[in-house]
Structure 1
Amino acid sequence: MGRSGKSKDVEPPVRAQRVQTPGGGGAFDLPKLSIGVFLTDQPGHEIAVGSDRPAHTPLQKEEGFILPAGASGLCHYDNEHTYLSVELDEALLREVGLDSPGAIAPQFGAFDPLTLQLARSTLDVAHAPSALYRETMHRALAAHLAQTVQALPEDAAALDDVRLRRAVTYIHDHLAEDISLEVLAGEAAMSAFHFARAFKAALGVTPLQYVIGERMRVAGVLLKTTGLPVAEIALRVGYEDTSRFGKHFKRAFGATPAQHRTG
């Protein structure tokens, strides 16, 4: 048989596009690990990942999100919205050591400088004439993400009970809020008593201990990867009282937030 002369289009391992939408929002379903860089301020932005209860998550220009492969949920924004959408193939991420792109913790807010730079360059890279240059830049972004994104703790990612996974997802999506046992039990569709027992049996800690641990973990990452003031980081992980945040942080890391940042 002769060849037709036409080559089948191959989807690039990193796909980037500039998206413009009117105010509103709606449901989303992301099959690939995705980065969203906001190009406009969205003070009224709300989002829910893995649930139907959006939380107020204001984001400024050049802030945004990193969401795991398979993430779904709802988002809402009042104003006309422009953002950069970047999707990365699972095969590329596995090549650079990120074996479970669907098991990373959703991240919102400021990017570390290199992630922002590499993400913003993806539109220009897409039109570069050199395939080697495109592949090098795509791999650089993927490799950097593999080193910086935070995986969900293995015990949480491996939970068999979908009800508990919903509660864990809710915790990660709402770290800056006052998270109550009743709300978590509601996410799991269980009574507070049975939820607390099931949670500790599955994860080895109480819901409150888990929430504090995750807040400290995220705070540690923000201290190392951003220049945000300690008070701002405290707010982003649910502490209005910076002194109380500092005490919990030192108990978790054996160092003050300032020492952790410079250490």
Structure 2
Amino acid sequence: MTASRHDVPAGGGAFALSDLTIGLFLVAQDEHRLALGSDRRHHIPLSADEGWILPGGAAGICEFDDAHSYLTVSFDKHMLDDVGLDTSTAFRPQVGGLEPLLAQLVRLAADRGEDSSSLYRQTMDLALATHLARLLAPHAELCASLDDRRLRKVIAYVQEHLTDDISLDQLASEAAMSRYHFARAFKAATGRSPIQYVIDERLDRARLLFKTTSATVAEVAFRVGYADVSRFGQHFRKRVGITPAQFRSQ
């Protein structure tokens, strides 16, 4: 999945999309004109937080009279297959209002920092793709279960790699499932999403280290998989109710 922000001067021009793409306008364009599959332009005013969802292979012309800022998120076939969206079935291009949660997830995808953990990035990407699939194909619901053997294997992997940048791909691979099915099945089995589970396990180990070692807060953060000490402190305080330093002094 690729998320980008675009700040461009007035004008526009021809476009061709290789993958299914969402576009989200950050500014209103009262004179927005769009042609799809031909050069016949249609006047379609769009406000901020409106935009379009176009299938892979869509081509046309987009024009606007004012400087423009917008976000795009493109999904490759692998990710869409992962969430059960059949890309061989055409859907009608959507131009205009976007469902509010979809728009929010697009903003989060474009705004997240490159230093985010692999598990966080992949979880948010999957959430966006899953929500899009539900909007485009609301009846295409797939189910899978996570048996005890595979669940134990995933939990063992987490315990052995807490200091690593754990990814959703790695956890799903341990369970021999797609990311989509794994994330849903793991939450059904444990009551927590994979990222919630990993955070909880890291903070539990941090509390143990604070009680049994003299390691500094920064050392403990690193030993439980946090490269960012401030983020560790935020998660610790949210979970435990006090800062790491306050917990240590108890």
Superposition TM-score tier, normalisation by shorter sequence: 0.5 to 0.7
Amino acid at match of 2:6: V
The match for 1:38 is 25
Shift of 1:128: 4.2
Shift of 1:101: 6.5
1:203-245, Cα deviation, whole Å (9 max, x unpaired): xxxxxxxxxxxxxxxxxxxxxxxxxxxxxxxxxxxxxxxxxxx
Q: Is the 8 A contact 1:37 1:63 kept in 2?
A: yes
- Aligned to 2:6, what secondary structure does the other structure show? strand
Shift of 1:149: 2.1
Match of 2:101 among 114, 121, 137: 114
Q: Is the 8 A contact 1:35 1:64 kept in 2?
A: yes
The match for 2:121 is 134
The match for 1:201 is none
1:126-176, Cα deviation, whole Å (9 max, x unpaired): 52421011111101111111110269xxxxxxxxxxxxxxxxxxxxxxxxx
Report whether the alignment pairs 1:66 with 2:53.
yes
CA distance in 1, matches of 2:103, 2:63: 23
The match for 2:73 is 86
Amino acid at match of 1:138: D
Aligned pairs for 1:191-202 (under 5 A) are none
Q: Is the 8 A contact 2:85 2:137 kept in 1?
A: no
- Aligned to 1:103, what secondary structure does the other structure show? coil
CA distance in 2, matches of 1:128, 1:105: 36
Aligned-pair Cα RMSD in Å: 1.7
Match of 1:147 among 121, 134, 152: 134
- Aligned to 1:114, what secondary structure does the other structure show? helix
Report whether the alignment pairs 1:103 with 2:90.
yes
- Aligned to 1:122, what secondary structure does the other structure show? helix
Q: Is the 8 A contact 2:25 2:48 kept in 1?
A: yes
The answer to which of 100-109 and 30-39 deviates more is 100-109
CA distance in 1, matches of 2:137, 2:43: 22
Amino acid at match of 2:61: L
Aligned pairs for 1:1-263 (under 5 A) are 14-100=1-87, 103-125=90-112, 127-149=114-136
1:175-226, Cα deviation, whole Å (9 max, x unpaired): xxxxxxxxxxxxxxxxxxxxxxxxxxxxxxxxxxxxxxxxxxxxxxxxxxxx
Shift of 1:115: 0.3
Shift of 1:49: 1.1
The match for 1:170 is none
CA distance in 2, matches of 1:126, 1:31: 25
The total of aligned residue pairs comes to 138
Shift in CA distance, 118/101, structure 1 to aligned 2, threshold 3 Å = farther
Amino acid at match of 2:85: L
Shift of 1:102: 7.0
Structure 1 unmatched runs, 5+:
1-13, 152-263
Shift of 1:125: 3.2
- Aligned to 2:78, what secondary structure does the other structure show? helix
Amino acid at match of 2:38: S
- TM-score, length of structure 1 as denominator length: 0.50
Q: Is the 8 A contact 1:16 1:126 kept in 2?
A: no
- Aligned to 2:92, what secondary structure does the other structure show? coil
The answer to which of 119-128 and 66-75 deviates more is 119-128
Give identity over the alignment, percent.
48
- Aligned to 2:112, what secondary structure does the other structure show? helix
- TM-score, length of structure 2 as denominator length: 0.53
Larger Cα Rg: Structure 1 or Structure 2?
2
Structure 1 segments of 4+ aligned residues over 3 angstroms from their partners: none
